[in-house]
Structure 1
């Protein structure tokens, strides 16, 4: 596998090549996501003067700058062009996505050119957020309509997980986009009815109208209203902060369009946001939000935050808000008899009643509606999940109707979900568990905070090793925590050991990892790490000792121990040196930050391209890892310990020479150089070097780790990152 090998599931998705028409931020971002999956894509726009492909090329460049690509490599898969010279490329594609301006006639004129060029089986979709599918397909015939869908992406396409789909029920476009949207683009695909605003914008924009209009009517300050919203589970921006992010100047067009499509009695028309006097005044004064540097909030000259005062229209300092229930107790807030409680009851009641009234009209059910709000607007819980969690008094205060039950899709469960539902636990303790996924595949699940590695995890690895080759024919290492595969060792534990100078305990903890991790790598059955989120330090080392890896595209992987004044102590130095050689291992071990994606982790050396598969949808990891493990069982040969050729002090000095120059130039501190000297000495085999066994290099790791823990600055570094989450600058 090279860096651009296709992601897991792409080969069976039916999407071998794509075309995206429209090279703005949305279209170019969608094209970048195809490339991130390893799928070639043409990005077309209208021709420019001179360089006729300039608009498409600018879209690619903008995505490189904005982070739409998961590293620089995927950009090579995007071929720029224009809709006059290169329109014939449509015949090569399986999926053509239109992402041009929101104008019905412009879109229909484009589809008239696209339709005759479609290859057999190809599908077409529009990224509209406001125009109905029936209007886009009118007059194009039944075949085109069956192959046409609305695929409503959210910006930025790489990171926003929701894809709303409006397609002919049971038709080829629906089946194709459901599958390819997940496997290729990593999206959770939600079926929507062909109604204005679909699901997320219909409910989300209505919520924003209700929340903003009612806050101003009831005389709340902007920060009071936003503080109340966060108790509902809305992101910390609140509703007014979200409006700044969207753009206050977009309210007349986005809300106006939706309002025009819906009946006069609809809540979005009753709570008329575009007509609000403050909103109109802000637009007239160019206070558009973040894009203009000032909206409902702005940053003052001294860096502090200011907020607009609705009574005067002028800015003032943001004031702290005390919310009933401490900002975490929704029931206490709803029971409050002051203005904040009244506001909370009015807004939440209107939104929940609105969702209940329209769920059947706009979606396939409460679960789909909740998912759309959770993924499209980042609500912690959707409306029906919120209602389900209310006590009787809160429900009565909101005057809610009978709310339909939320039925989860059983097909969405992965093998670990099913194992847990069946109670198929083979062993467990407070830190980890071993589950039976079926077909002889076990799953080692870490369950500590951020899945940090501790003695309990080591106990469960030891228990698991004892079952491998018996009941466990293959092993998946993975969990359901969306934040982290494993953040590494529990640093707080090291603080106590350092402060008590218990160097023996530190050495023993390191020795245990050195004993168990290689046994996992050399086990008689294959092991596959299912990786997502933060995967750092000892968590990264755990993946390095598995036989293979299935990694979500957005995993953040690295060995940042050098920023703490130490080095990887559980075989990370050894494994990277064995695979990459000392010079490349040193570059990886001294990276200033973790890799920002699985693709980048391959480039930087943290992942072995030969034994790593990228997966685009995080929820597919466990299933993909299980399939990978099953495929490895027959004929599996355990991985043997390696001998590593090292160059000793001479090689270390060659590696360190550029870093010494950085110190002389003031670009690297002497303290950081001292840490890097330890790393270089270990990976080059100590002063003498030579051909060493893995265990010899691990012994050097362990000795250096304990020595580096005894440097006073190391304790300060560890405490600083525990307190601030950021490395200490030295």
Structure 2
């Protein structure tokens, strides 16, 4: 593509518009955010900062605010203009006419509407505008919701649609799904219907809130909020607006009209009473304090409207097929919701989407379902569903009948061009702890397979084997765990070695040697973290030649919380990285002070941008906004490093010695005096300060890597022998929470 998005503009600084602007800034794209007045735009920006929409404070500086009347001319050099004002056709069309007067040729314009057809938005506007116009339906919160529905019209220039899709994918990190110009597009068309059915059938079957949410949650693969919790989260007061607008646009024969959610008596009474959900302090659920001041949750009785203590959720089979086969209220409710949702999706899918896979992807990404309606049908059995519908005298939509005859939908997951997945790659070596796969072009990928990808002895062995190979052009460290690149060392194994000093020392030494082998390998190694990479997981990344991180990756060295220091080279590698930073003052103390502050803080970054600011990523490391593209980007980075690659030479760094340690500890003792640190924190940080300042070296003397690694091992050994560290380690293992001693 020759057209790119170098500058963006967003009109409307509400929760959606402000979030879109923040995501452009997160991607490094300057953006103009305009509202009716500059004050309103600044207020919208402030709300996004407070809500955590920005990945790092540096991104905020990329947003310029202003008023539409005074500053609309600042859109003249924007490559993509997103309209996110009130959902009113007349207001939008009037604004489009003004935008058309100032935008440059080829600048894309999109509306964030979720209810107004594209044809009505562009009616009467110039052909030049229609050529560059699409609908882009974002989901809130924009930073975290990966779905973007795009609607292009018959007059839309394909190059404009391609520009928006590409920028949304690679810059904003979205999974782009093309939709037809139909009411509510895909996700809300199916999602609002499912929400309606799940709520109305709960009343019809006489279920309690707890019962309905238990059925609608885990068995269906729906988030644990369930259906009533979801209405509380969305806001019950939005039902008349959202569902009312939808009903105005739906065809007269749409099955949604069979469920009068707008007239549901309990909902109407709750709206009148202001019981509209979390934002109002309560809806179907509410939090209250008991006599002892403890917070407890109460639930609304659906018959009386009165609140009562929440009851334990009923036991339901996690397998949906088993649950819906039960001849009781819960089983009948499960069947009612599943059958109507699948039937509706099968009936409307040919009208609203290009493929059933697009419908599944929209529901998985837009509503956080673990499986979309067609994947759910496959899991239960399309033939089972179709036969039961027919036996009950209900219509079987043609698409469902075809799937029943074919043995299921079984469509491959939606995938954008260029996306690489681990399942695509042939297995080269497979063990319970790790899997080595061939990514092609001589690049292999080592994926961890332990629980939460913790670093076990077997995983260290896998690293040792792969770094000894001579048949690779490069290695990527990546996995597809939904939450963790690696949660660090195998804590249970570490605790088991506490009474075996020799075994513990051997474990520490082996980890150091395995990680250092990544740097000494005859090929480049690229780490590709997604989710969290903490403790030993972060130390692995610090030993890679380069890192290609997902934008939302959380990196951190959190060992201080369990009474030790990073001992697999993390302290050393972070220190050396800080010493190479151009933005730190020269001299022997700034780099140790920066490394000390980061490790002592024991924080996990909230994004890759923050990880870079904390020193876990270097300026040359890459950030991938779209998680689906992480593996392909990491492979490309590895290929770029491969020609002429030679392992990095061992380094030495000038450190201040004991005087520097005293300087660092002055701050520690002040924090202890202020009550911010425990007595044992001081002991741990004394060990850390000694390492980063070089131990007993002379001021400004060069200290080699080997010496720093040795200092790490000695510190971990000493700390592991203390009762306080042992208590912390065992508490973390048993409770998952650090002990403040």
Structure 1-normalised TM-score? 0.94
The 3 A distance-change label for structure 1 pair 398 and 695 is farther
Give the count of matched residue pairs.
Answer: 706
The aligned counterpart of 1:553 is 551
CA–CA separation in structure 1 for the residues paired with 2:2 and 2:716: 46
Q: 1:121: how far off?
A: 2.2
The aligned counterpart of 2:674 is 665
CA–CA separation in structure 1 for the residues paired with 2:224 and 2:3: 37
- Contact 1:308/1:316 (CA < 8 Å) preserved in 2? yes
Q: 1:393: how far off?
A: 5.0
CA–CA separation in structure 2 for the residues paired with 1:422 and 1:658: 51
Q: 1:638: how far off?
A: 2.2
| Structure 2 residue corresponding to 1:636, chosen from 645, 670, 673 | 645
CA–CA separation in structure 1 for the residues paired with 2:60 and 2:723: 45
- Does the residue aligned with 2:528 lie in a helix, a strand or coil? strand
Q: Which moved more, 1:586-595 or 1:279-288?
A: 586-595
- Say whether 1:54 aligns with 2:39: yes
Q: Which digits, 9 at most, give the CA deviation of each residue in 1:147-193, with x for residues without a partner? A: 11110011110011110111136722321121100111110011111
- Say whether 1:372 aligns with 2:371: no
- Say whether 1:196 aligns with 2:183: yes
CA–CA separation in structure 1 for the residues paired with 2:677 and 2:358: 52
| Structure 1 residue corresponding to 2:724, chosen from 698, 709, 713 | 713
- Does the residue aligned with 2:9 lie in a helix, a strand or coil? strand
Q: Residues 571-610 of structure 1 correspond to what in structure 2 (within 5 A)? A: 571-580=569-578, 581-609=591-619
The 3 A distance-change label for structure 1 pair 416 and 708 is farther
- Contact 1:94/1:122 (CA < 8 Å) preserved in 2? yes
The 3 A distance-change label for structure 1 pair 712 and 394 is farther
Q: Which digits, 9 at most, give the CA deviation of each residue in 1:327-379, with x for residues without a partner? A: x1222211111111111111111001000111111111111000111111111
- Say whether 1:465 aligns with 2:470: no
The 3 A distance-change label for structure 1 pair 188 and 422 is closer
Q: Residues 123-272 of structure 1 correspond to what in structure 2 (within 5 A)? A: 123-168=108-153, 171-230=158-217, 231-272=219-260
CA–CA separation in structure 2 for the residues paired with 1:426 and 1:415: 21
Unaligned runs of 5+ in 2: 391-395, 404-408, 579-590
The aligned counterpart of 1:36 is 26
CA–CA separation in structure 2 for the residues paired with 1:142 and 1:343: 51
| Structure 2 residue corresponding to 1:336, chosen from 301, 326, 330 | 326
- Does the residue aligned with 1:84 lie in a helix, a strand or coil? helix
- Does the residue aligned with 1:481 lie in a helix, a strand or coil? coil
- Say whether 1:363 aligns with 2:383: no
* Coordinate RMSD, CA, aligned: 1.8
The 3 A distance-change label for structure 1 pair 480 and 413 is farther
CA–CA separation in structure 2 for the residues paired with 1:415 and 1:445: 17
Q: Which digits, 9 at most, give the CA deviation of each residue in 1:56-102, with x for residues without a partner? A: 11122111111000011100000111112211122211100000000
The 3 A distance-change label for structure 1 pair 317 and 608 is same
Q: Which digits, 9 at most, give the CA deviation of each residue in 1:451-498, with x for residues without a partner? A: 21112222221221122xx32112211112221111111112122222
- Contact 2:215/2:316 (CA < 8 Å) preserved in 1? no
Structure 2-normalised TM-score? 0.92
Q: Which moved more, 1:26-35 or 1:452-461?
A: 452-461
- Contact 2:11/2:33 (CA < 8 Å) preserved in 1? yes
The 3 A distance-change label for structure 1 pair 259 and 582 is same
- Contact 2:153/2:181 (CA < 8 Å) preserved in 1? no
The aligned counterpart of 1:311 is 303
Unaligned runs of 5+ in 1: 1-10, 48-52
The aligned counterpart of 1:7 is none
- Contact 2:119/2:153 (CA < 8 Å) preserved in 1? no
- Say whether 1:684 aligns with 2:683: no
The aligned counterpart of 2:411 is 407
- Say whether 1:284 aligns with 2:267: no
- Does the residue aligned with 1:211 lie in a helix, a strand or coil? helix
Q: 1:663: how far off?
A: 1.1
The 3 A distance-change label for structure 1 pair 144 and 683 is same
Q: Which digits, 9 at most, give the CA deviation of each residue in 1:568-610, with x for residues without a partner? A: 111000011112121000011012420110011111112112x
CA–CA separation in structure 1 for the residues paired with 2:239 and 2:386: 32
- Does the residue aligned with 1:662 lie in a helix, a strand or coil? helix
Q: Which digits, 9 at most, give the CA deviation of each residue in 1:15-37, with x for residues without a partner? A: 11000010111111110100101
The aligned counterpart of 1:703 is 714
CA–CA separation in structure 1 for the residues paired with 2:263 and 2:441: 62
Q: Which structure has the higher relative contact order (CA within 8 Å, separation 6+)?
A: 1
Q: 1:416: how far off?
A: 5.5
Q: Which digits, 9 at most, give the CA deviation of each residue in 1:611-642, with x for residues without a partner? A: 21111011111111111111122233421110
- Contact 1:13/1:184 (CA < 8 Å) preserved in 2? no
